[in-house]
Amino acid sequence: MSFAQRRWTRGPRSLAQRGQVDSGPSGESQYDVFPSEGGGDVGGSHPFYENNPLSFREEYVRRRSICENEGGAGDGVGTSRTIGGGDQSTCLGMSTIATEEYDAIEEIARLYLICETAQHRGEAPAESHLSANGEDQADQAWESIREWLTAHPSTQERQIAATYQGHHNTAAIHLVCKFVDPPLDIVEALIACDPETVRWPDANGWLPLHHACANNASAQVLRCLVSAFPAGKTAQDTRDRTPLHFVFFRTDAATEEGAEDKGEDSGDDDAFVGSSSPARTGVDSMADIVKLLRDTGAASLPDENGMLPMHYACAYGTSTAVLRALEAAYPESIIVRDKRGRTPLHLAMVNAHRSASPSVLRFLIRNGTKLGIVDIPDNEGRLPLFILASACRNRVLSESERTNAARCLTLYLDAGPRASAEFLNAMQVLPEWLRDDAVINTHVQSVLNAKIVQRWPTAIMLLDGYALLTLVVCFAITSREYIKYLSTNDDMPPQPLPQPLTNLCVGLQILCSTYLLLHEVTQVLAMINLGSFSSWLYDKDNCLDVTVIGLTIFNSILMRADPPYMGILNTDEDPHLRILLASTQVVMWIALLFYIKSVRIGFAVFMGGVAYVTRNLVYFGLCLLVFIVAFAMMFQIIYMGSEVCLQPDKYQNGACYTDFPHCNFSTSLLKVYTMMMGEIGEECRYLYAEDLLSTNGTVENMKDASEVGSLVYALYAFIIVIILSNVLIAIVVDSYSVIKNERSAMVFWSNRLNFVAEMDAIGNFVRTLQRIFLCSGKKKDGAGAAGAPRAVHEVPGGAVITIGSEADGGVFGRESEEKVPMRDVWDAVVSLFHPDLFKEMDVHPGMIEFWFYVMLILFAAFFAVPLWLLAGWLSAGIFWPPQVRKFLFYAKQSSSATRKDVAKQMQQEADQLKKGLVRMKGDFKRDIGDGHTELLLHKAELESVQKALASDLAQVKDIMASLRESAKERVKEREERAIATEQTG
């Protein structure tokens, strides 16, 4: 279908809604600009169009016939006639359209065709500003539109063409605004053709202003559109989005230039330039555009998902100046939650990898900390930190993107979020490369230390250690006794079980494994309660714990069976029993090692070093495997045809050739491997020793093999023993230094984070059960349910901020250790050992009080303190005072600086210094240039003064010469008069 054949689909609306209608008695229009019902076509709303929607061609023919009948066509003036009772100009005026009717229709439709064709041929608007092809298409479209407007000066022709609507109810001005950065003169010309077109929404409810905001239009163009239709700033599309929402779809909304993080004290936030075009000036910034559109309440209008423009700005990233402008228009917008409960901070964190996100996050935290913005969860109970963790785990990020995400994480943690179970759970969900940065944050370490030294976390941690140690000891005893009992070997006949000992050990195994099982089940339920069961499922420590529990319970049940182990005997032909018991013992020892790693930082560093070195030895191990297999095959090939291998009974004897290892590949491979470990054995086997062979003749094959074998052995010693062994030492030393110097804090605090998070999740689960089963009555002293916040602050926008809760104080409720009696008693006991005690008490050996204090000190040192510490150890730390728990488990906070960080900081400082030198060089050049220019000006000024002075001197000289001549003439005249007087006298 050609453009001429398309129907004037919104012809009725184009007149009725533009106000070109009859006026009532009061002179006001009888039709609203935007009808209240339907929002679509207004067929029949105007008398002329009632039940008679005309096609574009019919409309043009009608108007042309009116002009011809009235003599208005081609008369150069045009005639006003009434359409439907209104006084409206209908003639085409000074028409430049061809006289043939069809060509005229096609010519008018060509304006829309130019715009639509350029849109189809060009690239997508979001990318065309980067494409030379897209720019060429746009330039051609602008020139074509200007040519069309120049060739058609008639107002009526322009009006008909401008109001023509094609696909999706778009007019020419919609298509022009869909281009990137449309020219101001064309937009103004199209508005002049028919000002009402800026009020028309397309099929999606988008005004031309929506399109212009989304496609990098300049501030001048936006001001032009706003001036033509001020109400468009609050117009909402079919998804309730205003033009202010669309501003953040611009490709230049989060450019590095505009969103660069300049720090807190930088006053250059408004340097954000809203376009990549060099023609833009400082007034055409994103901040100015937002200030233009934020009026009349646009900043407070949510879209269909409840998202404000502030949500869009934080999600897509922008400058601090833009955020400040949005906050000034609607201060509560930084904590308003959308329909999913997400604040702008949630959306900034989910896009933390973007370059603009750190500056956005700094702005939100700086202005929302007092409102508790970092602790506001969404409707699913997820903190912004959890959103960041999930986003970074599901994306493949570049190095720069990881740096941006790490900066956002640091900013969030420095804001001091509340130490809730949700916070610790979010910390666990962080990917490893982010968690390493998180655990060395000062706030996180303070939280973990405060949690770990509380009574119940300490008790659970010690009980876990007691249970693992008991399992290792008891299982070592029971496995040895049951192997002896089930043995059928003649060298080791069956022995009876020591019933009391084995029964006790098996009972302790069942008790400890039951405790560990209960611990894991509670932990699973707690994680399910938090909605993060996956973090428990994929934790290797939990997998190890479940394995220990399963193997222990399985072996304990088999030990108590009748007969034990279901009749499985310990025989050489059936070693399954020994394999099962040995595997269980190994797993228990590994679990014990992992437990110690989570308690002591030194052991954590060592274990982390072992794991780190092992990972770095992957390629070394692969290379070593290649060499070992190669040498094993070489030795086998060399000796497989020799007499020693062909006739082993005859020749494999003596010190050198007994059990010769290189006659088959398996023994050759094993020997090559043990030789690398130092078990070389008799070196003479690689030499030809005829006197050691049981023969009277020469063994030619063996002689030839030994000549080659000795060379291969020498090559093996050089490559494996000398080269690769030293390489191994170098790799291990370097790798362990890295783990010791750089990752020691990360290893230890990561382990502590896992344990504290598990304990806090269990505590949160216990509090949930208390709320479910114990909520029938009021608490004493007016206390609320366990875990309930102590204070609630509701802010505008519907955000509810909880201030503190019982969960902050301890895993199983608030533990006010400042008031526990044991703290005060311990302080009193320790004060007895103060070196200035006697001086402070003013006692001396001659006084009874002195000896009383001495006896008291001895009693405390040898009885009270040891018994107190022993009671605390037996009670898993419950009876220990807080000071003892802090002394044992409070870890010194470590710095986050590593060699990599220091090198990176040095590189950044070097780059800044380099930029400063470049700036200084430019300033010097400018100063020198300015001085040179000033010198030239002074020189030119001196030359002009010199010329003026020379001119003045020349004038003086001429004057003096003229005066001299006049003086001479006067003297001559006097002489002549004197002579004449004498002659007459």
Extents of the domains making up the chain: 3-199, 239-417, 455-599, 618-742, 901-985
For residue 515, pLDDT over 60 is answered with yes
The stretch 643-655 carries a mean pLDDT of 69
Distance of alpha carbon 435 from alpha carbon 432, whole angstroms: 5
Dihedral, CA of residue 167, residue 169, residue 172 and residue 176, to nearest 10: -80
The stretch 178-198 carries a mean pLDDT of 89
Counting Cβ atoms within 10 Å, is residue 2 exposed (0-12), middle (13-18) or buried (19+)? Answer: exposed
For residue 306, pLDDT over 90 is answered with yes
pLDDT band at 542 (very low <50, low <70, confident <90, very high): confident
The stretch 428-443 carries a mean pLDDT of 85
What amino acid is encoded at 133 in this protein?
A: N
How far is C-alpha 790 from the geometric centre of its chain's CA atoms? 33
Nearest to 18 by CA among 210, 115, 160: 160
pLDDT band at 509 (very low <50, low <70, confident <90, very high): very high
What amino acid is encoded at 970 in this protein?
A: R
The stretch 805-824 carries a mean pLDDT of 54
Phi, psi (5° rounding) for residue 520? -70, -40
Q: What percentage of the chain reaches a pLDDT higher than 90?
A: 18
DSSP string, 151-173: H---HHHHHHHHT---GGG--HH
Residue 737, C-beta contacts closer than 8 angstroms, at least 6 positions apart: none
The 10s digit of each residue's pLDDT in 970-983 is: 888 888 888 888 88
- Comparing 95-104, 296-305, 487-496, 513-522, which segment has the lowest mean pLDDT? 95-104
Report pTM: 0.64
Query: By three-state DSSP, how is residue 82 classified?
Result: strand
The stretch 33-39 carries a mean pLDDT of 31
Q: What is the pLDDT of residue 86?
A: 35
pLDDT band at 365 (very low <50, low <70, confident <90, very high): very high
What amino acid is encoded at 429 in this protein?
A: V
Tokens 């401008």 label which residue?
A: 162
Distance of alpha carbon 216 from alpha carbon 247, whole angstroms: 8
What amino acid is encoded at 800 in this protein?
A: V
Distance of alpha carbon 173 from alpha carbon 215, whole angstroms: 13
Q: What is the pLDDT of residue 827?
A: 86
Instruction: Please state whether the peptide bond connecting residue 821 to the residue before it is cis, i.e. omega within 30 degrees of 0.
Output: no
For residue 511, pLDDT over 90 is answered with yes
- Comparing 44-53, 224-233, 457-466, 945-954, which segment has the lowest mean pLDDT? 44-53
For residue 920, pLDDT over 60 is answered with yes
Distance of alpha carbon 240 from alpha carbon 350, whole angstroms: 23
Distance of alpha carbon 530 from alpha carbon 381, whole angstroms: 8
Q: What is the pLDDT of residue 257?
A: 42
Distance of alpha carbon 194 from alpha carbon 189, whole angstroms: 9
For residue 254, pLDDT over 70 is answered with no
- Comparing 97-106, 675-684, 925-934, which segment has the lowest mean pLDDT? 97-106
The stretch 328-349 carries a mean pLDDT of 92
The 10s digit of each residue's pLDDT in 373-397 is: 999 999 988 899 999 998 888 888 8
The stretch 759-774 carries a mean pLDDT of 75
In contact, 367 and 358? CB cutoff 8 Å? no
Q: Of all helices (H) and strands (E), which one includes residue 98?
A: none
Q: Of all helices (H) and strands (E), which one includes residue 83?
A: strand 80-83
User: What would the 3-class secondary structure string for 131-157 be?
Assistant: CHHHHHHHHHHHHHHHHHHHHCCCHHH
The stretch 857-885 carries a mean pLDDT of 89
Homologous superfamily of 239-417? Ankyrin repeat-containing domain (1.25.40.20)
For residue 462, pLDDT over 60 is answered with yes
3-state percent helix, strand, coil for the chain, nearest multiple of 5: 65, 5, 30
Q: What is the pLDDT of residue 512?
A: 93
Distance of alpha carbon 266 from alpha carbon 151, whole angstroms: 52
Tokens 């020198």 label which residue?
A: 928
Phi, psi (5° rounding) for residue 394? -100, 5
For residue 985, pLDDT over 50 is answered with yes
Maximum CA pair distance of the chain? Answer: 187
The stretch 6-18 carries a mean pLDDT of 34
Query: By three-state DSSP, how is residue 29 classified?
Result: strand
DSSP 803: E
Q: What is the pLDDT of residue 81?
A: 31
Residue 60, C-beta contacts closer than 8 angstroms, at least 6 positions apart: 101, 104, 105, 108, 160
* Mean of the per-residue pLDDT values of the chain: 75
> Which of 5-9, 226-230, 610-614 is modeled with the greatest confidence?
226-230
